[in-house]
Amino acid sequence: MSKNLSSLSGRKGMKYNLFEELGISAQENGSPSEEEMERLCQEFLFGKAAVYGAASFYDFLKKENAGKKVYWCNGSACMTAGTQDAVKGELSKHFKEEEIGEICCLGRCYENGAVQYRDKNFSGLKTDQLGSSLKSEKPKPDSYHVEHRGTPVLTADYGDIESYYQILKKALQSSPKELLEELKISNLRGRGGAGFPIAFKLEACKNVTSDQKFIVCNADEGDPGAYSDRYIMEERPHSLLMGMIISGYISGADWGVLYIRAEYPDSVRIIKEAIRDLENRGYCGTNIMGSGFNFYFKAVKAQGSYVCGEETALLSSLEGQRPEVRIRPPYPTEKGLFNKPTVVNNVETQAAIPFIVQNGGQVYASIGRHPSTGTKLLSVDGFFNRPGVYELDMGAPLKELVYEMAGGFRKPVKALHIGGPLGGLVPTSAIDDLTIDFESFHKNGFLLGHASIVCIPEDYPIIDYIKHLFEFTSHESCGKCFPCRLGAKRGAEMLEKASAGEYVVDRELMDDLLETLETGSLCALGGGLPLPVRNALQHFEEELSPYFKS
């Protein structure tokens, strides 16, 4: 990350954004032309190496993407469901090989068989229906089960917009200090996986003097198996937008930036429409509700990179730089987007704020199990009898979700991968021991994370699954630190040879590799990979024994 490039990119503010312009220039051919990149170099005063280094990083900007017309999902849920070989075979009947690309998780994990064509997502179709559906460019209606048990914080219908935004009016009639105190009482913690208190971030940003501050929503929900953020953006967009406005009021920020993954075209469209609606109603922009407070929105479409879910890589991405993880300190609340104080939180975290403002911090704190207060959204895949998005009070038994709400499994399952590719690999025998909160998962050697659930069926080899995790990390690494860049690749190579029967992995060597990844990586991509691998080695030792030697 270059501080100078951050400042240069910030000269034009958010209205004219280098990263967004790179995406626009790639729309026609799948990759920006050299002429377009040269023009952007001149306009933003960036060197050629900086712009090319950024553009060549993303799946949907790199030269290899030129000419791609259709993408099949290679996410974990579609992989374990076994739908994608047939999908690829059907696509090959309608497209040339060079026109077919891969895309990582379209958030259609509840029915699989996912494909993206002309900025539209298709899934859950019989293979022989796929070609005609793509030709019509009309996906079947998106449908998955949504249910809550306990207090509906995020799944409750908020009714008409005018009535709902009375919560914002109430917030603007309070002082930032009063609102911050309610958030402290609520103990709302980041729902993206880290579980960090949002009040701490907002207060840190509030206490920094600056002419410009930002609220950035990390809507780059890249964990395969996760689609709860997509649910909020498409079904409850105003909870998210209002939460960001209130965060801006508390911290003194006047810009809200939503970084939404390209794999969710409907989310991008719906959020932009909701922002236009707010602008027309006077609920964002200049002098909101006569309060003297200004807050503007910018929704930016990402371009395909899992590591951009890490907050500092996301900020570098928004600046048009190569999205490499930044060394901390300084933290984003001090020097974030364009070197200005910035608060970064995920969709679910921001969307919970209106409930707290409306009902008070103590009401939210009374839900769940301290210190994991409030509720949690969980998304479950197509191996469940009722796949969908579920909201439960923190501390609820995991078995309540699995066997009651989601209806159990439609075929034998031996493990749940909870919390994305870096989350815990939970054997089904451990389901009864876990409650849905940060502490229970940590105590039992797992990680709640984003709380997506991908099932591993009985007939799916664990060796293939952990090889997939190493391959995923290797592909998605930003490359800045060598433990992640090299370690993930070496791990994938070892397991590839082992699964082919050409090699037996030395367990001590694997343990050394995992320790190096965990302690030497700059962010949770390399640092988090060892957890599910160790879970597999512990809980599926007998199955893995032919591939490892002590």
Residue 368 has pLDDT above 60, yes or no: yes
Same domain, 353 and 245: yes
**What span, in angstroms and rounded, lies between the C-alpha atoms of 513 and 511?**
5
142's tokens: 């998106």
Asked if the model's pLDDT at residue 3 lies above 90, the reply is: no
Domain containing 116 — which CATH number?
A: 3.40.30.10
* Cβ(236)–Cβ(154) below 8 Å: yes
Number of domains in the chain: 4
Q: Answer yes or no: is pLDDT of 81 > 80.
A: yes
Q: What is the pLDDT of residue 1?
A: 52
Looking at the structure, do residues 166 and 242 belong to the same domain, yes or no?
yes
CATH code of the domain in which 359 resides? 3.40.50.11540
Task: Assign 196 a pLDDT band (cuts: 50, 70, 90).
Answer: confident
Residue 59 clears pLDDT 60, i.e. is over it: yes
Among residues 136, 165, 190, which one ends one of the domains?
Answer: 136
Are 446 and 466 contained in the same domain? no
- pLDDT > 90 in the chain, percent: 92
Q: Please indicate, yes or no, if residue 46 is contained in any of the structural domains.
A: no
- Does residue 14 belong to any structural domain of this protein? no
Residues 414 and 518 in one domain: no
What average pLDDT score do residues 383-409 get? 98
pLDDT band for 202, please (50, 70, 90 cuts): very high
**Does 131 share its domain with 209?**
no
* Overall average pLDDT of the 522-541 stretch: 95
Contact 107, 230 (CB under 8 A): yes
Asked if residue 370 has pLDDT above 90, the reply is no
How far apart (Å, rounded) are the C-alpha atoms in residues 66 and 101? 10
Residues 229 and 339 in one domain: yes
Task: State whether 395 and 492 are in the same domain.
Answer: no
Average pLDDT score, the chain: 95
DSSP state of 409: B
Q: What is the pLDDT of residues 259-293, one digit of tens each?
A: 999 999 999 999 999 999 999 999 999 999 999 99
110 and 190 fall within a common domain: no
Whether residue 213 sits in one domain with residue 179: yes
Q: How is 294-331 classified by DSSP, letter by letter? A: -BEEEEEE--S-GGGGSHHHHHHHHTTS--PPPPSSSP
What range defines the domain where residue 430 resides?
368-457
- Among 457, 486, 509, the domain boundary falls at 457
Mean pLDDT of 347-371: 96
Rounded Cα–Cα distance for residues 204 and 342 (Å): 10
**Contact, 478 vs 323, CB < 8 A?**
yes
Domain end marker among 442, 457, 472: 457
Question: Residue 401 belongs to a domain with what CATH number?
Answer: 3.10.20.600
pLDDT at res. 550: 78
Same domain, 376 and 452: yes
CA 338 to CA 340: how far, in whole Å? 5
Residue 63 within a domain: no
172 lies in a domain? yes
Look at residue 303 and tell me if it is in a domain. Answer: yes
Q: CA 111 to CA 410: how far, in whole Å? A: 13
- Residue 54 predicted with pLDDT over 90: yes
Same-domain pairing of 188 and 304? yes
Distance between CA atoms of 60 and 98, rounded to whole angstroms? 14
Same domain, 97 and 220: no
Asked if residue 394 has pLDDT above 70, the reply is yes
Residue 211 belongs to a domain: yes
Average pLDDT over residues 392-410: 98
* CATH code for the domain in which residue 518 is found: 1.20.1440.230
In a domain? residue 450:
yes
Is residue 2 predicted with pLDDT exceeding 80?
Answer: no
Whole-model pTM above 0.85? yes
DSSP string, 9-77: HHTTTTTS-HHHHHHHHTTTTSS--HHHHHHHHHHHT--HHHHHHHHTTSTTTSGGGTT--EEEE--HH
